[in-house]
Amino acid sequence: MPRLELNPNFTDPDAFYAALTEAHRERSEQESERINARLILLLANHVGDQQVLEEALAIAGQAAEPAQQEQR
């Protein structure tokens, strides 16, 4: 069963971060959300494995829980 890769796997994480922030520069919040949604769908399509995608969703959801609790 394929597993989500959680170890660092970027060839150049700083370059990716720079490209990501540049894609959002001078965009409205709505435009940034659309960019993020499209990026997620493109990468999910690239991954392709439903179990890996569900594992990623579960981990991402866990990371969001404390932030949601703080807002209450």
The whole-number pLDDT of residue 72 equals: 57
Top-confidence residue, 16 or 68: 16
* In the chain, alpha helices (H): 13-24, 29-47, 50-71
Is the dihedral angle over the CA atoms 59, 64, 70, 72 positive or is it negative? Answer: negative
pLDDT band at 63 (very low <50, low <70, confident <90, very high): confident
Q: Which residue has the higher pLDDT, 67 or 32?
A: 32
- Split at pLDDT 50, 70, 90, the class of 6 is very high
pTM: predicted TM-score of the whole model, two decimal places: 0.79
Residue from 47, 49, 45 nearest 9 by CA = 47
Q: What's the pLDDT at 23?
A: 98
